[in-house]
Structure 1
Amino acid sequence: MTRDEAIETLTGAGQAGDEAFPLLEAAIACAIHDQPFRDPQPVRTLAVHAAERLAERIGGEGPDEALTETMASDLRLNGDLLNHDSPANTDVIAVAESRRGLSGALSVFYLDAARRAGVKAQGVDFPGHFLLRVETPEGPVALDPFSQGRLVLPSELTRRALRAGLTPHVADRLDVLMAPVTDRQALIRLQNVLFSRAIRSQDYEGAERSALRRALLDPDDHRPWLDVAAAREKQGSLAGALEALSRARTVDDPMEVTRQMSVDRVRLQLN
């Protein structure tokens, strides 16, 4: 798959409704867009094996236990503690090969297997750490894909929320802490991680690519185009920055004044 083909896939994913969002294929396209001409078949093979194994386990175990045992024990997916900041940990092709990654990348495989096997699971955009919400007969539970899919108790969720800076008033509300997000939002969060890392390391080309992927995945959000513009401006591509700002202006929202200020700033540099 080429970078252009990846863009085509991401564009199609962005136009799909949330219920039909192709999480696995969109995640593959994100990886190829970042580093093209790689073979995505190991990702698809792992996904098929995960769904088949999970389907075998369902019935003999609770849905949360079946998902954890399948992904962490059978398929050995786990967080990468030694190379936490490696770009490979956000790339599903690299994760399929190493079986190590960040929680957001591991969650792609968890969520895809759950969808195929009929387990109700959703991502949770928890502060500083992506989690999974799995519906069980006893109620929803939180799993941590980074820590071998282990169960995260409500008391620990509260402690984590307090450490992340949430107020006690919010940290005690499990309905807020375990609010589910769509598969689209889960994948966008992963691209946000890449953008932040690229900006910190002054990899502005990488930052531009990750911001562009967010823009394609959610065409109704103007903010990724502002990040594309900022990354292009850092590279000295002022015409490209203006183009991105123009794209942002086509999305109707209350931030028009802010975008116009950005356009004017870049135009001044061109004059």
Structure 2
Amino acid sequence: MTREEAEQVLTEAGTAEDDAFPLLEAAIACAIHDYPHRETAPVRTLAANAAERLAERMARESHDDALVETMASDLRLNGDLLHYDDPANTDIIDVAERRRGLSAALAVFYIHAAAQAGLICRGVDFPGHFLLRVETPDGPVALDPFSQGRIVMPSELTRRALLAGLTPHVADRLDLLMAPVTDRQALIRLQNMLYVRALRRQDFEGAERSAVRRVLLDPEDHRPWLDVATAREKQGALAGALAALDRARGLDGHGQMHARSAHDRIRLRLN
């Protein structure tokens, strides 16, 4: 698959309804968009094996236990503690080959397998650490895919929330801490992470690519265009940055002030 073909997949995913969002295929396209012409069969093979094994386990185990045992024990998916900042940890193709990654990347396999097996599993955009919410007959439980899928108890959710800077009256609200996000938002979270990491490495082309993927995945959101503009400005592509800011201004009135300020600043650099 070429980068152009990956963009077409992401464009189609961006127009899909949330309940029909093709998470696995969109995640593969994101990886190819970053580094094209790679073999994607390992991702699909791992995803198919996960769905098959999960369905078998669900016939004899509780839903949350079946999901954890399938993903963490049978398929050995886990967080990469030793090389946390390795770019491979956010690339779905590399994660499939290494069986190591960050929570937001590992979550793609959890969510996809659960959907195929008829289990309700959604991402939780928890501060600083992506989690999963699994619906069980006894109520929802939070799982941490980075830590072998272990259950995160309510008291620990509150503790983590406080450490992340949330106020006590918010940190005690489990309904807020475990609020599920759509599959689209889960994948966008991963692209946000890639954007921040690319900026940190001063890989401004990579930062632009990750922001463009967010544009394609959620074409009605003005915010990715602001990040495209930032990445282009840092590359010295000022005309391209202005074009991105114009797109942001055209999408959302709430972004008008920010976009106009940045637009004027970049325009002065061109004069």
Q: TM-score, normalised by structure 2?
A: 0.98
Q: Amino acid of the residue matched to residue 155 of structure 2? A: S
Q: Distance in 2 between matches of 1:254 and 1:162?
A: 29
Q: Amino acid of the residue matched to residue 26 of structure 2? A: A
Q: Distance in 2 between matches of 1:34 and 1:40?
A: 13
Q: Distance in 2 between matches of 1:143 and 1:107?
A: 10
Structure-1 residue corresponding to 2:45: 45
Q: Amino acid of the residue matched to residue 79 of structure 1? A: G
Structure-1 residue corresponding to 2:140: 140
Q: Amino acid of the residue matched to residue 257 of structure 2? A: V
- Residue by residue, what CA displacement relative to the aligned partner does 1:8-67 show, whole Å, maximum 9, x if unpaired? 111111111100100000000110011111011110111000000000011211110000
The DSSP-based 3-state class of the residue aligned with 1:38 is coil
Q: Distance in 1 between matches of 2:240 and 2:176?
A: 39
Structure-2 residue corresponding to 1:65: 65
Q: Amino acid of the residue matched to residue 51 of structure 1? A: A
- Residue by residue, what CA displacement relative to the aligned partner does 1:82-110 show, whole Å, maximum 9, x if unpaired? 11011100000000000000000000000
Q: Distance in 2 between matches of 1:189 and 1:264?
A: 29
Shift of 1:183: 0.4
The DSSP-based 3-state class of the residue aligned with 2:28 is helix
The DSSP-based 3-state class of the residue aligned with 1:61 is coil
Q: Distance in 1 between matches of 2:88 and 2:244?
A: 27
The DSSP-based 3-state class of the residue aligned with 1:249 is helix
Does residue 82 of the first structure (1) align with residue 76 of the second (2)? no
Structure-2 residue corresponding to 1:8: 8
Q: Distance in 1 between matches of 2:100 and 2:223?
A: 30
Across the aligned residues of Structure 1 and Structure 2, the Cα RMSD in angstroms comes to: 0.8
Percent of matched pairs sharing the same residue: 74
- Residue by residue, what CA displacement relative to the aligned partner does 1:190-215 show, whole Å, maximum 9, x if unpaired? 11111111111211111111111111
Q: Amino acid of the residue matched to residue 190 of structure 2? A: L
Equivalences for residues 165-184 of structure 1 within 5 A:
165-184=165-184
- Residue by residue, what CA displacement relative to the aligned partner does 1:145-181 show, whole Å, maximum 9, x if unpaired? 0000011111111111111111111111110110000
Shift of 1:250: 2.2
Shift of 1:260: 1.8
Equivalences for residues 1-271 of structure 1 within 5 A:
1-271=1-271
Q: Distance in 2 between matches of 1:257 and 1:167?
A: 29
CA contact (8 A) 2:32 2:38 kept: yes
Q: Amino acid of the residue matched to residue 76 of structure 1? A: R
Q: What is the count of residue pairs matched by the alignment? A: 271
5+ unaligned residues in a row in structure 2: which ranges? Answer: none
CA contact (8 A) 2:232 2:238 kept: yes
Q: Distance in 1 between matches of 2:97 and 2:192?
A: 23
Q: TM-score, normalised by structure 1?
A: 0.98
Q: Distance in 1 between matches of 2:241 and 2:72?
A: 43
The DSSP-based 3-state class of the residue aligned with 1:94 is helix
Shift of 1:257: 2.5
5+ unaligned residues in a row in structure 1: which ranges? Answer: none
CA contact (8 A) 2:223 2:255 kept: no
Greater CA deviation, 15-24 or 195-204?
195-204
